[in-house]
Amino acid sequence: MPRTRKCFGWPRFNSDIVRCLPLELKAPSFKISKIQRSMSSDKNYITLVYEYIEEGENDETVVGDVDRFFWLAGFGHTISPPAKNWKSGMLVDLADIVHVGGYGWKKQLYKPRTADMILIE
């Protein structure tokens, strides 16, 4: 099994943290379907905490092996896997793959990919 990013859990955090963050670290407010979305300072939130992976060279052999492992395990790609989702030969954005029949899964996209197909900029 290839190395994947470690998940350190789903900690809760108090909204007081949001108020104390510098402006450049706060989640932006945005509108979806006429509804304004933003983080409220009077609510508590749950976050995912993953291991930080340094930028590094993507070895095509490693990327190909990792992708083949996920494909053999039954995962396919969403529309196109951007190269930016890979760092140091590791898939860092797991939203790039989807289980068979999952949201975004398409039969015509369920196939093994080569590293040069994945690492297109």
Query: What are the domain boundaries of the chain?
Result: 7-50, 60-118
109's CB contacts (< 8 A; 6+ apart) are: 76, 77, 78, 79
With CA atoms as reference, report the closest residue to 52 among 7, 118, 117, 106: 7
Angle at 87 between CA 67 and CA 26, to 5 degrees: 120
pLDDT tens across 17-48, in order?
A: 877 889 888 888 899 999 998 888 788 889 89
Token duo for residue 116: 């040069």
pLDDT at 118 over 80: yes
Using a cut of 0.85, tell me whether the model's pTM lies above it: no
Token duo for residue 82: 């951007």
Give the Cα separation of 92 and 51 in Å (integer). Answer: 9
pLDDT tens across 51-98, in order?
A: 999 999 999 999 999 999 999 999 988 766 678 889 999 999 888 888
